[in-house]
Amino acid sequence: MENFVFHSPTKIIFGKDTEYQVGSETRNYSKKILFHYGGGSIKRIGLYDKVVRSLNEAGVEFIELPGAQPNPRLSLVKEGIDICRKNNIDFILAVGGGSAIDSAKAIAVGVPYEGDVWDFYSGKVIPEKALPVGVVLTIPAAGSEASKSSVITNEDGWYKRGLNVDIIRPRFAIMNPEITYTLPPYQTACGAADIMAHVMERYFTHQKDVDFTDRLCEATLRTIIKNVPIALKEPENYEARAEIMWASTIAHNDLLSTGRIGDWASHAIEHELSGIYDVAHGAGLAVVFPAWMKYVYKHNIDRFVQFAARVWDVEIDFACPERTALEGINRLSQFFVSIGLPVTLEGLEIPEDRLEEMADKCTNYGSKQIGSFVKLGREDVLNILKLAAK
Ligand code: NZQ
Ligand code: ZN
């Protein structure tokens, strides 16, 4: 096991009616905040009114910034930074999913910085200060409610890039599974793929003696595999929604990374898909991850056999372990299909004419390689995209 520091201090307030605590939690930080949210689902589901009432009751003044869209844009982040500066705002409340939260985090690092906030996402500068951020979560998926990441799309070139620093972990995350009853089935499924991907990025390592975190990863994956079909059939099944919601946070708050080295190549490749084609991140991962697996499994067949046996209950074929490994990958794809996700670029309606461009953009910085389980260069990424095509 690798040495590690685990410090993931987001306060989680979980369960029924917890959204009414947003005012009092926010009041611990500020009396004047930016209230940031997405395209309006929070109004349709009645959450907006509850948040406003709770903030008013706690005496918290707010300025609203709606419009964070899936694959949140840099231009709105800049608008948020201006609003905060002009109004002396020192706290940002994000109500929504990964998109509103990531946008809030970007505003939070941008306000105290004199340069262009994109410097942090292009890797030019590491931020040292950030305003505190709080969250009311509406979709279990990205795990941004307790993660150290923010992913923003720059419309100038459609670069989708991530920032990973501890100072942007939210101070609190309010999580009421009932709020997720209204999720469209496709968003529930996309969320499931993202949660599973966060676990699998950590699971596929060559590290030996990481049995405890292996088991935590497998438990998290099995929880999703069991509960997502239930939630799709019975959208108001509280227990299933609660299991998924808590699993989504644990999948990405770094507990499952302790003592091991993650891969993250599939995420890097997917960010090119959603950056250029604006597809849902989870759907992109359902396409990329199985293709990545088929491309790399021979580098550690034992790990893929373990995945097949412990996560998917595949009987191990000791005479031909490769067959077991491939069956595990096959079961993952079948699961994605069974919950309504595409597993090919064609299914995602992405044509094949820009695969080279995506492979370039994905590897054209730093060491020009991505991943850790297997280091991948431009040609590898192109091959994976071709494997994902049909
Ligand atoms: O725009 P609104 O009105 O919020 O509607 C959203 C959006 O259309 C809707 N929705 C959310 N909760 C709902 C609801 N509709 C009805 N009822 C509810 N309760 O669902 C759609 C998707 O929302 P979004 O916030 O985009 O989803 P998600 O949480 O999947 O976030 C995706 C973004 O997070 C990034 C992704 O790349 C993508 O940009 N990621 C962030 C990470 C992080 N910060 O740690 C890690 C991830 O790997 C990921 O890259
Ligand atoms: Zn993700």
**Residues 99-125: pLDDT tens digits?**
999 999 999 999 999 999 999 999 999
The tokens describing 377, both together, are 């260069």
**Residues 319-339: pLDDT tens digits?**
999 999 999 999 999 999 999
Q: In this structure, are residues 60 and 26 in contact, taking their beta carbons and an 8 Å threshold? A: yes
**Residues 123-149: pLDDT tens digits?**
999 999 999 999 999 999 999 999 999
Please indicate, yes or no, whether the overall pTM of this predicted structure exceeds 0.85.
Answer: yes
Q: What is the C-alpha to C-alpha distance for residues 151 and 195, in angstroms, rounded to an integer? A: 16
Average pLDDT, the chain: 97
Which residue carries 């992913």 as its tokens? 151
Which residue carries 């199985």 as its tokens? 290
pLDDT at 138: 98
- CA angle, 10 then 15 then 20, to 5°: 85
* pLDDT over 90 at 364, yes or no: no
Q: What is the C-alpha to C-alpha distance for residues 329 and 348, in angstroms, rounded to an integer? A: 19
pLDDT at 250: 98
pLDDT at 196: 98
* pLDDT over 90 at 212, yes or no: yes
**Residues 262-314: pLDDT tens digits?**
999 999 999 999 999 999 999 999 999 999 999 999 999 999 999 999 999 99
User: What is the whole-number distance in angstroms between the Cα of residue 281 and the centre of ligand 2?
Assistant: 7
Query: Which ligand is in closest contact with the Cα of 10?
Result: 1
Q: Of the residues 74, 109, 136, 138, which should be mutated to test ligand 1's pocket, given the most ligand atoms within 8 Å of the CB?
A: 138
User: What is the whole-number distance in angstroms between the Cα of residue 197 and the centre of ligand 2?
Assistant: 6
- The torsion angle over the Cα atoms of residues 288, 289, 292 and 297, rounded to 10 degrees, is -160
Measured from the Cβ of residue 236, the count of other Cβ atoms closer than 10 Å reads 12
User: What is the whole-number distance in angstroms between the Cα of residue 194 and the centre of ligand 2?
Assistant: 5
Q: What is the C-alpha to C-alpha distance for residues 284 and 272, in angstroms, rounded to an integer? A: 9
**Residues 215-264: pLDDT tens digits?**
999 999 999 999 999 999 999 999 999 999 999 999 999 999 999 999 99
* pLDDT over 90 at 366, yes or no: no
Q: What is the C-alpha to C-alpha distance for residues 142 and 162, in angstroms, rounded to an integer? A: 13
Query: Which ligand is in closest contact with the Cα of 135?
Result: 1
**Residues 4-28: pLDDT tens digits?**
999 999 999 999 999 999 999 999 9
Interval 194-199 mean pLDDT:
98
pLDDT at 367: 82
Q: What is the C-alpha to C-alpha distance for residues 231 and 242, in angstroms, rounded to an integer? A: 10
Ligand 1 atom, smallest distance to 68 CA? 1
Q: What pLDDT band is residue 365 in, cutting at 50, 70 and 90?
A: confident
Ligand 1 first shell, C-beta below 6 A: 38-41, 45, 70-72, 96-100, 102, 138-139, 141-144, 147, 149-151, 179-180, 182-183, 187, 191, 194, 252, 267, 274, 281-282
pLDDT at 330: 98
**Which domains does the chain show, CATH number per domain?**
11-178 (3.40.50.1970), 183-389 (1.20.1090.10)
User: What is the whole-number distance in angstroms between the Cα of residue 212 and the centre of ligand 2?
Assistant: 23
Interval 173-201 mean pLDDT:
98
Share of the chain above pLDDT 70, in %: 100
- In 3-state terms, what secondary structure has residue 91? coil
